[in-house]
Structure 1
C-alpha cells in the first residue's frame, strides 16, 4: 500500500479546476495506491475556494495570505500537510494529458536511487509557434535519466526539473530539507542539483504528460528572465558546473532553424527581439544586487513586499 499526494498551490485558479481536478481524480492507479489532493490557496479573489468546497469535497484546502506565498516555502507547507509516500507537485494550469500520468511517474521510482521524476509538457492548442518550439526543446519525446555523469553530456540541463509537474520520494524530500525558501525561482532545480550532487538520480519521464504552455508578451518574458537571472545569481555554484548562456544560444539557433523549416520566416524578427528581451532581463537579474529595491520590484514578475 502506498499513497500519492498531489500538491497544488493556487491563486485565482477557477478557470482551470474543471479540467485539473477531474483529470487527477480519474487517473489510473494500482489497487494498492491511495490518492490525496491538497491545495494551498493564496487568498484567491475569484471563486477558487468556493468551487473546490462545492464541487470537489475530496480536496483538502488550506488558505494563506497572498503576501505569504513563496515558491519554495509554500510547497514545503504543502509537503508538511501531505501524508503520501510520493509527493506530486503541480501548478494550477498543468492539465493531465491522459489518465496515465500518475502510473508513468510512479513507475520510475522502482529504482531506489531515483528521488525525483518530472513530466513532459505538451503545448496547449492556443500555443504560439515560438512556444510550441520551446516546449519541444525543453521537453523532448525521449526519456532520460540524469546523474553526475550527465553533466558532461547535457550541461546545465542536468539540474533541470519543473514543479509544473514533478514527483518526489517523500522520505528523501524531508530528509534533504525540502525546497530552499525565500528565493525568487528555481526551487525545483536547486533541489534536483542536491539530488545529483548526492549521487542519486533525477528522471525526465517523457511518457508522463501534461498540457502546459504560456503565450508571454515581450514584457512578461523580460520579467520572467529577470527573475531567472536573480535566481541564478543566488545559486552561482550551479553555473560553475555548466553554462546557462551557452544553452540559451543553442536554443535560439535551433528556434530560428525551426521557423524556417515550418515556413514561418516572417516570425524571425520577433523571435530575435524576444531572445534579446530574455537576454537583457536575465543579465540584469544577475546584477540585481546593485539595483535599488524599487527597480527590482518593477522588473520582477514574482517579487513581493
Structure 2
C-alpha cells in the first residue's frame, strides 16, 4: 500500500524544509510506503532550489502562476499519484508528531470512510482570535460524519480541510466521483465532502492527527477571504438547501466573546467585533458577487486572478 502526499506550493521557502523533514520521519504501518509530489505555481523565492537540491526523491513540477486553481491543481497532483490514498497538505501545515499519516490511515479500515481530515492547532505566534478559531473549528474530539448527522451538525457535516486531509484514491478514479470541482474560488474540499456524505459514505474528523497551522490575518485579509467564501457558497447553493452557514457563524461569534472574557483578553473584544463585521460584509457581498464587474471583484477577492 502506498500513501501519496500531494502539496501545492507558492513561495514556500520558510516552511517547506520543516514540512518535508517531518513527513520523512513519519511512522507508517508495515507494508506501507509514501511518496511526495509537489506542484509549484512558479514561486519567486527559493522554493524550487530547496526542494530540487535537498530532496531529489520528491517529484517536483512547476506550473504557471495563472494556471493555479484550488480544484484543478489538486486534481493534477492526483493524476501523478500512485498511491491508494492521497494526503493533501498545504505548505504551511506542519505535523505535530510522527503519527500524522498513521492516525489518518487507520480510519480507512472501515470501507464506508472516504475522507479523514486532521485537527489544526495554532502556531506559537497565533493571536488570541486565531487561537479561538482553531479550537472552535478543530476541537479535541473525533467526529464521524454522515447523512445522519446533518440535523445535528448542520454545515459542519460537510466541513473538510485540504490543509491536511486524506482521501480514498477511488474518489478521483471512479465513475461516481471525479475528484475536486474545478474553477471554484474556494471550498473544493467541502464540495467533495458533501458529495461523499450525500452518497452514503463517511467523512472522519480525526483529532489525533494534528498539524500546526494558523494565520494572523488583518481586517482587509479577512474581508477578502470571506468575500471568496461567499462567492463559493453562491456557486454551490445546493449545499445550503437544508443547512445554514450563517447560523454557524453567529454561534462562533458568541463563543468567541465568551472565550475572550474568560481568558481576560479585554483588549481584543472591540477588534473582534470589527473582524466579525469585516467577515460578514465580505461574505454578504461575495454571495451577491454577480452584481459586480469582474475587475471590481478581483479587487475584493483574495484569490481571483
The bucket for the TM-score relative to the shorter chain is: over 0.9
State the partner residue of 2:140: 141
Partner residue in 2 for 1:28? 27
- The yes-or-no answer on 1:19 pairing with 2:18 is yes
Matched position secondary structure for 2:52: helix
Which residue matches 1:273? 274
What corresponds to 1:243 in structure 2?
244
Counterparts of 1:27 and 1:274, CA distance in 2 = 38
Aligned residue for 2:208?
Answer: 207
**Residue in structure 1 matched with residue 300 of structure 2 by the alignment:** 299
> Which digits, 9 at most, give the CA deviation of each residue in 1:162-210, with x for residues without a partner?
0000000002332210000001000000000000000000000000000
Give 3-state SS (helix, strand or coil) of 1:83's partner: coil
Q: Which runs of 5+ in 1 are unaligned?
A: none
Question: Where in structure 1 do 4 or more consecutive aligned residues deviate above 4 Å?
Answer: none
Cα RMSD (Å): 0.6
Q: Report matched runs for 1:214-293 at 5 Å.
A: 214-293=215-294
1:235-254 Cα offsets, whole Å, 9 max, x none, are: 00111120000000000000
Q: Is the 8 A contact 2:100 2:209 kept in 1?
A: yes
Alignment of 1:87-98 (within 5 A): 87-98=86-97
Aligned residues: 303
d(CA) in 2 for partners of 1:293, 1:62: 30
Q: Does 1:68 align with 2:67?
A: yes
Output the TM-score relative to the length of structure 1.
0.99
- Matched with 2:149 is 150
Q: Contact between 2:120 and 2:213, CA under 8 Å: does it hold in 1?
A: yes
Q: How much does 1:264 deviate?
A: 1.2
The equivalent residue for 2:160 is 161
* Partner SS for 1:166: strand
> What's the CA shift for 1:42?
0.4
- Structure 2 equivalent of residue 125 of structure 1: 124
Once residues 196 and 82 of structure 2 are traced to their aligned partners in structure 1, the CA distance between those partners, rounded to angstroms, is: 22
Rounded Cα–Cα distance in structure 1 between residues aligned with 2:270 and 2:35: 47
Q: Deviations over 1:9-35 (max 9, x none)?
A: 000101101210010010001120010
CA–CA distance in structure 2, aligned partners of residues 65 and 105 of structure 1: 32
Counterpart position of 1:107: 106
In structure 2, the gaps of 5 or more residues are none
The whole-number CA distance in structure 1 between the counterparts of 2:220 and 2:163 is 22
Partners in 2 of 1:293 and 1:235 — Cα distance? 19
2:81 maps to what in 1?
Answer: 82
TM-score (norm 2): 0.99
| Local SS of the residue matching 1:155 | helix
Cα distance per residue 1:246-303 (max 9 Å; x no partner): 0000000000000000011221100000000000000000000111111100000000
